[in-house]
Structure 1
Amino acid sequence: MSTKDVMIWRSNRAGTHYVADTVVVEEPVEIRIRFRDSNDKWGERPLSITMRTPGDDQALAVGFMFTEGMLLENQLDKVTIGLENTVTVHFKPDVRPELEKLQRNFYATSSCGVCGKSSLDSLGYTYENLQWAENLPSLSTELIASLPQKLTEYQSLFDETGGIHAAGLFDWEGNLMLSAEDVGRHNAVDKIAGKALINQSLPFNQHILVLSGRACFELLHKALALNIPVVVAVGAPSSLAIETAERFGQTLIGFARDGRFNVYSGPERLELQNETRAII
């Protein structure tokens, strides 16, 4: 269940009433991996435990491992759901994962072992040969401004609870391709990544990622892993998110709401009307 009914005291000008309310569920899930070791024997071990909103757990596990560099596109065999909030990602029989590298990547991700400038520098090697789709038509301001509203039409859990993040993947014409909701903004993007990997629908170098909240470095990093050239956020971007977008040639848009938005990087992909430049 993704939501739960609770009883609350609700106070307003009309008084205080004891009423039912709906809240989003937050529960842990254990991500496990199954693989053949160097002795050609099957083994299984836990990788991480993360808090999430139940639903799309298979996609969450696969997407998390993919966007954090722990799983390559051609290494996934299958993913299974176990008992008591566990999900297992199965590597293909011919894949021998580097367990030390997996563990190192996980700890760096979960505890931010390489934050700030060093995080940005560490992406340089991973995405040094990143290739964006070329010769795409410019995106109109009307299309960009319409995307957050389009995403809200698929935010059923937000409508019920008001307490959940969403991410949506749109094609270049503004059609929604994939969406996900979760109490964690990173989880929502990972669920999209997992759905794409499971359905073999990568890459996304002609797509737009829309975020219901702010844009931080980790979300830009996940967009890079999916080869997404344009990121649109309803909230504000962080300084490191802007630096990431500038370094790798992404278009980053923030405060996209009420028919307006700010462009922080990559304006060349947009058809900007009546452009003027202030003298600073």
Structure 2
Amino acid sequence: MDLLQLRYFQAVARREHLSQAAAELRVAQPSLSRAIARLEADLGVPLFDRVGRGLRLNRFGAGYLRRVDRALAELDDARRELADAAGLDHGSVSVAAETLLTLTGVVTEFRAAHAGVDIRLYQSSATEMANQLRAGEVDLCFASQPLPGADLRTRELLHEDVLLAVPVGHRLAGRERVRIADLAGEPFVTTRPGYWPRELADRLFAAAGLRPEYTCESDEPGATGDLIGAGLGIGLVPAYSRGVTHIPGVWLHVDAPDCHRTLNLVWRADAYLSVAAQRLSDFAAEYFSVTTRLPNRI
């Protein structure tokens, strides 16, 4: 066996799907299938159960994956340590967020200050981010809801109100504040489950004993304001967005407890955090501290 076979096995084990893993690895599916077959032959046991046209990790594969994850994580940490020893200009950092619009400003300014750092970005739901951290795919996550895992550490970057955005001319547009009860029956723009705006909306409506009328659901939280401005409905938007976007609409405060967002930086406590990742963490904390104090930001 070789290192490439282990990388291939890890990808297939996570996906339990050959074609998806092949697309992720950018290799031909037959080549990936042969690599897995050779690995199983070398080990002398099957790592997957073949179920129809699919794969399912069996008990041999599950045990082997735990060892492979640890071994590859150690090798990745060693690579990052060597990059750190060579200096920040040769470093790299992988980052995930629920919407990449959260990172646009901070990444732009960080790259201007540290042009040699290689940054890789992912857009992921909360569950995906937690899995990416544990698998060592990302170093840092910008999360607006708690990520599960006792091995994760957080650093608060931003705590803000979440406002209700309505299109210009809407019946609520002339008000400064609303209650959740005022929103009964209104077409509501939000995200799919797994993203913080949906989790917050579900919680607020449930507390008010109401069932929301979700008429538009997306996988891009950053698009919510534009969809509302286009007249597709009303929805919850973080106050920070008022200062970084130009959404046509009216913003109202919501009289409901816990109608706010906390943006946290999350990383694994038991993994090596490169100098580049540490520098980005400190840079992000300063960036959000400054930008939220600027006029018209909140």
Larger strand proportion, structure 1 or 2? 1
Q: Which has the higher contact order (CA 8 A, sep 6+)?
A: 2
- Using the size of structure 1 for normalisation, the TM-score is 0.26
- Radius of gyration: which is bigger? 2
TM-score (norm 2): 0.25
